[in-house]
Amino acid sequence: MAISAPSGGAAQATAHDPQANYTPALSSLITLFFMMGFITCFNDILIPYLKILFGLNYTEVMLINTCFFGAYFFMSIPSGKIAEKLGYKKAMIIGFLVASLGCFLFYPAAAMRVYALFLVALFILATGITLLQTAGNPYVAVLGSPETASSRLTLTQAFNSLATTIAPVVGATLVLKSLPATPEILNGISDFTKLNSSQQEAYNSFIASINISTLQNTYLALAGVFIVIAVIMGLMKLPQITGADVETGQQDSKHSSAWSYKHLVLGAVGIFTYVGAEVAIGSFLVNYLGQPEVMGLKEHEAGHWVSYYWGGAMVGRFLASYVLTRINPAKVLTFNALTAAGLVIATMILGGTLSAYTILAVGLMNSLMFPTIFTLALKGLGKYTDQGSGILCTAIVGGAIVPLLQGFFADSIGIRFAFFLPVLCYLYIAYYGAKGHATDAE
């Protein structure tokens, strides 16, 4: 892939040019992935209070994830076309600006306390994040040797996880701690449309006591940060890469599109199940740790514990950026997926405080799954690599569907046993690492 040199009159460089200095570009991408992780996890922290604030059951509150990750399904292809036409740098700048608009809309949504408006704001925010993700992943892949693409992507994902580790602490400190504690009489209620008279009285009193200014100001601050980053990125001289710069490679008569590669299609299912499982677990952690039979934590206390889940993914990704250059990535993927499934099964069987530790430990196993599945699925696609990348980004919609299904089961059989859904997801990922990733030539 050829890219234009950042300064006028300079010779053209290639994405794999060993003489090129990609440190500024990679630094900007690290910031990008950090902010994507922060805003994604920050939304999870708010789920318990939004559930009560809008009087929702678990299925309804999981619409937050449906709107956020549903944007990947609807907007990945348009985002890919924007990146192809304008270049990855301009696409990322637009992504930050769209995300800032979504954050601004949280202010009236919270003031009016209209759940539908909140979901619209969330979808706009997620549209910006989708554009950032669609442009950011290929940009990381081409900035250096293709042999180390998996390691680079894992490193940027590590900073994504650093953000998801920090976000629960920030959310718990700035937002949850400023909100009143949920009355004991309302703890453990899954459906706020079915309250007795004493519960309804407590609910009305609780809603009246909530001051949402902290929540509003936090999202306004996030909107400002996104705008500042967009301006800085616009001023930076980064390698200009567009979809038109992709090397087409040799004509492959066996394949007419990326869809004809079996390992890509199975990899897309892998991305779907991975994101679905990770988001479903993360979204239910505050509620699960607050269960009286588990740890009985208040929302802001549980928010701090959630950082261990995302922190495990952060530590694992920093380690994986080294490990994946020395151990077969597919074998590591299979091991991590089987271990994750075992930990979730242990959570369902054990219950109590010990189950809190087993479910939090899943974060460490999640660490390398996304970049490993992503790179394995794109292996050998040649001129169809960009199309394959778009398909994989669209599969992130798993974060919209799996949590919603888990919400349905949580309403039916309880939070703990609803974790059977992530178990199925991890078992599929183990299959992909063991056999499903093999290409036609292998």
Looking at residue 20, what is its pLDDT?
A: 54
HEC profile of the chain: CEEECCCCCCCCEECCCCCCCCHHHHHHHHHHHHHHHHHHHHHHHHHHHHHHHCCCCHHHHCHHHHHHHHHHHHHHHHHHHHHHHHCHHHHHHHHHHHHHHHHHHHHHHHHHCCHHHHHHHHHHHHHHHHHHHHHHHHHHHHCCCHHHHHHHHHHHHHHHHHHHHHHHHHHHHHHHHHCCCCCHHHCCCCCCCCCCHHHHHHHHHHHHHCCCHHHHHHHHHHHHHHHHHHHHHHHCCCCECCHHHCCCCCCCCCCCCHHHCHHHHHHHHHHHHHHHHHHHHHHHHHHHHCCCCCCCCCHHHHHHHHHHHHHHHHHHHHHHHHHCCCCCHHHHHHHHHHHHHHHHHHHHHHCHHHHHHHHHHHHHHHCCHHHHHHHHHHCCCHHHHHHHHHHHHHHHHHHHHHHHHHHHHHHHHCCCHHHHHHHHHHHHHHHHHHHHCCCCCC
**Under 8 Å between Cβ of 169 and 307:** yes
Neighbours of 33 (CB within 10 A): 24
Looking at residue 442, what is its pLDDT?
A: 64
pLDDT in tens, 189-237: 766 777 888 888 888 887 887 777 877 888 898 899 899 989 988 888 7
Where does the pLDDT of residue 402 fall: very low under 50, low under 70, confident under 90, or very high at 90 and above? Answer: very high
Looking at residue 267, what is its pLDDT?
A: 95
Looking at residue 201, what is its pLDDT?
A: 85
Average pLDDT over residues 177-192: 71
**Under 8 Å between Cβ of 83 and 237:** no
Residue 6 pLDDT more than 60? no
As a whole number of angstroms, the distance between CA 116 and CA 139 comes to: 35
Looking at residue 21, what is its pLDDT?
A: 56
Token pair of 116 as six digits: 């539908």
- 13 has which bridge partners? 3
pTM over 0.75: no
As a whole number of angstroms, the distance between CA 286 and CA 283 comes to: 7
Where does the pLDDT of residue 28 fall: very low under 50, low under 70, confident under 90, or very high at 90 and above? Answer: confident
Token pair of 79 as six digits: 């985002």
Looking at residue 357, what is its pLDDT?
A: 93
Looking at residue 241, what is its pLDDT?
A: 57
pLDDT in tens, 73-113: 888 888 878 887 888 788 889 999 999 999 999 899 888 88
Where does the pLDDT of residue 147 fall: very low under 50, low under 70, confident under 90, or very high at 90 and above? Answer: low
Residue in 66, 83, 135, 103 with CA at minimum distance from that of residue 275: 66
Based on its alpha-carbon atoms, the radius of gyration of the chain, rounded to whole angstroms, reads 22
Average pLDDT over residues 368-375: 87
Looking at residue 23, what is its pLDDT?
A: 67
User: How confident is the prediction for the chain on average, in pLDDT?
Assistant: 80
CA 172 to chain centroid: 19
Looking at residue 334, what is its pLDDT?
A: 95
pLDDT in tens, 315-335: 887 787 677 777 888 998 999
Q: Domains, the chain, ranges and CATH?
A: 20-243+256-436 (1.20.1250.20)
Lowest mean pLDDT among 74-88, 256-270, 345-359: 74-88
Where does the pLDDT of residue 5 fall: very low under 50, low under 70, confident under 90, or very high at 90 and above? Answer: very low
Where does the pLDDT of residue 439 fall: very low under 50, low under 70, confident under 90, or very high at 90 and above? Answer: confident
Token pair of 112 as six digits: 């009016």
Where does the pLDDT of residue 430 fall: very low under 50, low under 70, confident under 90, or very high at 90 and above? Answer: very high
Which distant-in-sequence residues (6+ apart) come within 8 Å of 275 by Cβ? 69, 370, 395, 396, 398, 399, 402
Residue 248 pLDDT more than 50? no
**pLDDT: which is higher, 369 or 140:** 369
As a whole number of angstroms, the distance between CA 418 and CA 442 comes to: 38
CA 54 to chain centroid: 24
Average pLDDT over residues 139-143: 70
Residue 249 pLDDT more than 80? no
**Under 8 Å between Cβ of 391 and 259:** yes
Where does the pLDDT of residue 435 fall: very low under 50, low under 70, confident under 90, or very high at 90 and above? Answer: very high
Looking at residue 15, what is its pLDDT?
A: 47
* DSSP strand pairing (13-14 vs 2-3): antiparallel
As a whole number of angstroms, the distance between CA 437 and CA 432 comes to: 5
Among 18-22, 48-52, 145-149, the range with the most confident prediction by mean pLDDT is 48-52
**Under 8 Å between Cβ of 291 and 297:** no
Neighbours of 359 (CB within 10 A): 25
